[in-house]
Structure 1
């Protein structure tokens, strides 16, 4: 459900209203039933709900209620209790997924300040999920119809991101993206790797990281038979990818990947976590405390995230 004080409960209620009967049968919300009812009232939506494990009407929303004391009585509040709730919802989702009781999880937004105030010191969903699943590494992929981007690094400083862009990590990122696109139906995914320096360093004039760190990682992926090229100057790589020359671009750091895709697909891009033993995707927006509980939140991104999660589940079943 995400942060109980954010727009997560609202966009979930709205997205469920828009879902087909077949989709509704496959959706369960892990969160707080009282908060979801509050969000439904705020949106003037009559939404029946039933407890997980019980039989509900076709239009009823199945809820696995996870109790957390001290939740605020209104939306838009940064709260330690909400941070604790976020952690409990995710932990329960991981537990059920690893036990094979659910196919995967779609996450609504959390607030990192609230999460850390509750004593859970993670950089966000991705770090928390990696810890809970005991995964050594994970990768963030942002997926939209016109552009798909996977990141070598995300929530670290730019200085640290440059140090992290080493050949092994570059190759692992390419492989993770290639495997995901293959799973999603791409026969031979075409991948471009963006450079980290202007003009890929211009032969060392603007830095040699593209030659010494990125190019060897690309070569190693090519040796595995992957259709990948690079490094390509980032200022042209994104345009070429958006025009259909490539199916996926590898971004070297957070903003290099996030800015282009949010420019062209702010409401439709889905955040997908790769490299984990479970399937997880998410909306690509924040908690928006300033509009929470005011029936102003756009739920289009949640619609796309749910649809992507169902596609992942179908791929797992096959």
Structure 2
């Protein structure tokens, strides 16, 4: 089997990213399905292993093809960009933000050069990025900027449930204003295309309702009548397999049980609550629309426990698994 190579940037070195990476790479099953490649700093990796009480070999390489990719060994491209003596665990600091950004940048370049098949990212800290003078606020913005991608899609996957997001990091008031006929139609098209790129060619996309009971035909909220329903009807006329709007109190359960291939959530918390309540640690974020596939844990740097070795690596291992699962389909579709 030609195992896909998955680049894993360490994230903010003052957070739990390095710890969950070294813990995840003790999972021998990951090496059966992929070739995990860490992009980071050797001393940060060594320190993370000390925090976690682990003893793994660090195999420093310059190019992905030089990796051993076997259990018990961490293949590492060492950027040597962290002064471990000055690193303050659990603290916002420019050095951490700059290193995290450079880890991502190197991973992106490897992906653009087709030397790795996907990227599985670890947590970064927005304040540390700002302290370092990085112009981007988060992972999605960094990846979009470095690749020249306009408005990449966010997809959450947990168990059998997949959820797209019409709006993300805006206020609820602004999110409601962004729910227009044109935008909903555009996202139906883009989400369907994204599913195909992941190899999911069958099934119906469901659009969640915005108001309670989808507004009961305008009795309490008319967004469904004015914007969402017309967009769905137009999409159907164009040949898209889409249903809705379906009340948000039931649509996620229906998708989980196999009725729908995915759900288009209309605002951030609507979809986040559904997925994270189902299984917080195994909810994985995928960024679709980039020149390569990116998956990620869906939690933060957890500065409060950084350096203690307590952080769970379940989500990190799952992010690598999901990247390995979809990368071959995604790359064939490009």
Question: TM-score over 0.5 for the alignment?
Answer: yes
Which residue of structure 1 lines up, in the alignment, with residue 256 of structure 2? 242
Q: Which residue, 160, 165, 172 being the options, matches 1:146? A: 160
Q: Which moved more, 1:110-119 or 1:24-33?
A: 24-33
**Compared with structure 1, are the counterparts of its residues 225 and 22 closer, same or farther at alpha carbon in structure 2 (3 Å cutoff)?**
same
**Compared with structure 1, are the counterparts of its residues 193 and 21 closer, same or farther at alpha carbon in structure 2 (3 Å cutoff)?**
closer
**Compared with structure 1, are the counterparts of its residues 44 and 17 closer, same or farther at alpha carbon in structure 2 (3 Å cutoff)?**
same
Which residue of structure 1 lines up, in the alignment, with residue 80 of structure 2? 67
- Measured against aligned partners, the alpha-carbon deviations of 1:39-79 in whole angstroms (never above 9, x if no partner) come to 01111110111222356583321111223355643421221
Which residue of structure 2 lines up, in the alignment, with residue 3 of structure 1? 12
Q: TM-score, normalised by structure 2?
A: 0.88
Q: TM-score, normalised by structure 1?
A: 0.92
Q: Does 1:293 align with 2:307?
A: yes
Q: Which moved more, 1:30-39 or 1:155-164?
A: 155-164
Which residue of structure 2 lines up, in the alignment, with residue 310 of structure 1? 324
Find the residue that maps to 1:20 and give its secondary structure.
helix
Which residue of structure 2 lines up, in the alignment, with residue 260 of structure 1? 274
How far apart, in 1, do the equivalents of 2:161 and 2:34 lie? Answer: 30
Which residue of structure 1 lines up, in the alignment, with residue 120 of structure 2? 106
Q: Which residue, 211, 217, 229 being the options, matches 2:231? A: 217
**Compared with structure 1, are the counterparts of its residues 221 and 120 closer, same or farther at alpha carbon in structure 2 (3 Å cutoff)?**
farther
Count the aligned residue pairs. 318
- Measured against aligned partners, the alpha-carbon deviations of 1:136-155 in whole angstroms (never above 9, x if no partner) come to 11111110113211101111
Moved over 4 A (4+): 54-57, 69-72
- Measured against aligned partners, the alpha-carbon deviations of 1:76-103 in whole angstroms (never above 9, x if no partner) come to 1221211111111111111111111111
Which residue of structure 1 lines up, in the alignment, with residue 21 of structure 2? 12
Unpaired runs of at least 5, structure 1: none
1:221-236 mapped onto 2 (5 Å cutoff): 221-236=235-250
Contact 1:2 1:109 in 2 (8 A): yes
**Compared with structure 1, are the counterparts of its residues 184 and 208 closer, same or farther at alpha carbon in structure 2 (3 Å cutoff)?**
same
